[in-house]
Amino acid sequence: MKSTHYVAREADERGFIHYPEAEHGVWNTLITRQLKVIEGRACQEYLDGIEQLGLPHERIPQLSEINQVLEATTGWRVTRVPALIPFQRFFELLASKQFPVATFIRTPEELDYLQEPDIFHEVFGHCPLLTNPWFAEFTHTYGKLGLAASKQERVCLARLYWLTIEFGLVDTRQGRRIYGGGILSSPKETLYSLSDVPEHQAFDPLQAMRTPYRIDILQPLYFVLPELKRLFELAQQDIMLMVQQAMRLGLHPPKFPPKVA
């Protein structure tokens, strides 16, 4: 597991997390900016979730506030974790309908991009769609499969997660929209993902599992769902059979240069 210089904030005996004013200021900057950027670009299911969550703009929300909404809509909840957690813990949480949230926020110096998932990425990027039953069901199924998977199978599943939950697009009657949390929490990637620069392919889970990715660049390829319900339908299919097929067929050539050490 990689190291990080960020440390998740502890809750007090009442479960309340105290953040300094400067960190509330960072949250305000991020959410105010990103709500403008995603206008006309985020899918409707995500926007419905944002409305239901009613995220505060002037301060970092408490996890209990998020849980009130998630538990009432899909039975999910968020759980405080350190900055980075092992695969095993990640799958355990998803399998029990708990979404991990690291309770730290990026510094002003890393406002536009950081490799570790912070509370803005997790809450603003992912939690709105956890109010949607289709998305929630897929995420739950994914967690259960990952929990039972081998180390090699988990690597394959990670590619599926990356190219759907983190960096997925969806076609709608209004046009192409974003549902991936990695895109929705990034102003640069929000604009870039819908531009003519990257490649767009119709979503195919088998091909997604065979597609290598890098976490530190704008994605060269995005998979596009025909509708968000496709994730729910995928959850009813034999995903592990697809994993076995993907492992037999091997990886596609990467569409990006190798990382310079």
Rounded-to-integer distance, Cα 221 and Cα 189, Å: 12
Q: How far is CA 135 from CA 100, 132, 148, 160, 229, in A?
A: 16, 6, 21, 14, 8
* CA proximity to 221, closest of 177, 169, 150: 169
Closest CA to 255 of 190, 201, 202, 180: 201
Whether 121 is catalytic? yes
Active site residue 252: no
Of these residues, 140, 185, 189, 193, which one is catalytic? 185
- DSSP H or E stretch at residue 142: helix 133-148
**Which residue of the set 45, 122, 153, 166 is catalytic?**
166
**From 23, 45, 121, 140, the catalytic residue:** 121
Catalytic pick from 45, 126, 140, 186? 126
Strands 169-172 and 175-178, how do they pair? antiparallel
Asked if 3 is an active-site residue, the reply is no
Q: How far apart are CA 211 and CA 201, in angstroms?
A: 12
- 185 catalytic? Reply is yes
| Catalytic residue ranges | 121, 126, 166, 185
